[in-house]
Structure 1
């Protein structure tokens, strides 16, 4: 049993089930991110944890106590919303301590708690201002301060950074991570941004269509995606997918495909298992991350299974520390991540290094990863 347990939780609106038997156990101090496209059910699940939405079936427990039917005010959770939800007529200090005042906490304790979080979030100089006098980043800090001051069992964040500009999102992401490392609090965080999910979480639940597609650490989600949806949703640029024919030859198994000129290319799998061998003679989807499709000098020197292919470059995109290079393999456009000084140009041939230790195969029928 975890600190926060979601056990077979479903949610229906009339005859339409929008969340399907969600099972997640969150340990104390964990940072769980619920990530997925709009309409996948992540915010609905967060609202069920908060008590803002009823559970149709199943159970949600916090510290072993069932929360079904328990009023949000009795759950000892704190929520940070996308819209900040600050009282415009109150000062920052009053916004932070208002909840404590409503719960009858003495003023001396309220002031001490406010001073502590103001120092932690570096907003001490803002305590006498009104929300209308603050920037978006400052308002988000105040919203976080209002949650932190209560010392709850679980913090719930509902896309808190989506209203901020790109640079401020990165800055606030760092601040939230620092806070979690310092306080060791239990956090459930909703976002549609897979970069936020990867950088903030200790574990990620990737959701789509009301189902949890995969639950795991950022490394597990990225390196061994459970299915094609997870593979393509997580990672930027997205994982390259190539139709290949599986060919077993003795102990070896190859992915047979073609280069940009239609010439046959055979890519050997390292340590192929029985599941992959069972696809001998069949077509599968081969997934290759951009960083596993690179220039020879940029290839992982620790890998013992790097294949090389001569191909024509169609597009180059310099991106500071990297150069993204587009080419065609097996009739599919593929993006490689090369070094910034890689000698490549559109229209010229280049040697691509493919790290087959990082390649993943998917069943095209079920879309599940082939173990």
Structure 2
């Protein structure tokens, strides 16, 4: 039993089922991120944990207590909304302690909690200001502070950084991470941003069309995606997914794939439980395709591949190189100073230890 248990939870609106038997256990102190595209059901699930949406089937329990039908105010949860939801006529301090006041917490206790949290979030100098006098980042801190003063069992974050500009979003991401490491709070966090999911979480639930596609650590999700959807959703640029056929030569397994000229190339597979002639989808992350000097020296399976470069894109610390493999655009991630140009035939180094095989029919990963 987890600290927060989501057991076979479903949600329907009339005949339309938007969540399908979601089953997740969240341990105390864990940072779970629900990630997926718009409409996948992640915010609906968060609202059901909060009590803002009714549960159609299954159970949600917090600290062993089933909360189906329990009013949001009785669940001891705190929620940070995308819109901040601050009262414009109240000061920062009043916004942060309003919930405590409504729950009948004595003023000396409210003041102590406010001082402690305001100092933690470095907003103690803003307590007498109104929300309209604050920047977006400051409002976000106030919204977080309002949740923290409550000292709830579970914190729920609903895309809290989506209204911030790119730099501030990165800064606030770091602040939330540091806050979690310091307080060891239990957090369920909703986002459509896979970078946020990877950097913040202890575990990720990747969702699509109301189903949890995969639940695991960031490393598990990234290195061993359960299916093609997870492989292409998590990672920027996305994993390359290439049609290939298994060829066995002299006891070694290879993925046969066509190059930019349509000629067959063999890439030696580390995975050996595939049958000769078997059609697969070969998944390779962009960083596993590079120049020979930039290849991972710890890998025991670096394969050379000559292919024509289509496009190069300098991106500061990296250079992204596009070529054609298996009839599809394929992206390689190289060092900034890699000497490569569009139109040339380049000697790529492919780390096949990082390759993943998927079934073309089911799109599920074929386990080694």
TM-score relative to the length of structure 1 = 0.98
Q: Which residue of 2 aligns with 1:327?
A: 323
Correspondence for 1:214 = 214
What residue in structure 2 maps to residue 348 of structure 1? Answer: 344
Q: Which residue of 1 aligns with 2:44?
A: 44
How far 1:232 sits from its partner (Å)?
A: 0.4
Equivalent residues in 2 for 1:48-63, closer than 5 Å = 48-63=48-63
Q: Which residue of 1 aligns with 2:26?
A: 26
Partner of 1:297, secondary structure, is helix
Alpha-carbon distance in 2 for matches of 1:133, 1:13: 40
TM-score by length of 2: 0.98
Q: Which ranges in structure 1 are unaligned for 5 or more consecutive residues?
A: none
- 2: distance between equivalents of 1:345 and 1:248? 34
**CA-to-aligned-CA distance 1:290-320 (integer Å, 9 cap, x gap):** 0001111111100010101111111111111
Measure how far apart 1:246 and its partner are. 1.2
Which residue in the other structure is 2:165 paired with?
165
Alpha-carbon distance in structure 1 between the residues aligned to 2:2 and 2:250: 47
Residue number among 301, 308, 312 corresponding to 1:305 in the alignment:
301
Tell me by how many angstroms 1:251 deviates: 3.4
Measure, in 2, the Cα distance between the counterparts of 1:259 and 1:17.
44
Q: How far apart in 2 are the matches of 1:213 and 1:348?
A: 40
Structure 2: where are the runs of 5+ without partners?
none
What is the aligned length? 367
Give the Cα–Cα distance (whole angstroms) in 2 for the partners of residues 272 and 35 of structure 1: 33
Give the secondary-structure state (helix, strand or coil) at the position aligned to 1:230. Answer: helix
Which residue is equivalent to 2:89? 89
- The offset of 1:282, in angstroms, is 2.9
Residue matched to 2:149? 149
Q: Deviations over 1:156-179 (max 9, x none)?
A: 000000000000000000000000
Shift of 1:334: 0.5
Q: 1:359 aligns with which of 347, 355, 361?
A: 355
Superposed displacement of residue 250, structure 1: 5.4
Between the aligned partners of 1:100 and 1:139, the Cα distance in structure 2 is: 19
Shift of 1:330: 1.7
Tell me the alpha carbon deviations over residues 111-142 of structure 1, each in whole angstroms, 9 at most, x when there is no partner.
11001111111001110000011111100000
Q: Secondary structure at the match of 1:314?
A: strand
What is the CA–CA distance in structure 1 between the aligned matches of 2:177 and 2:226, rounded to whole Å?
26
Task: Look up the SS of the partner of 1:350 in the other structure.
Answer: strand
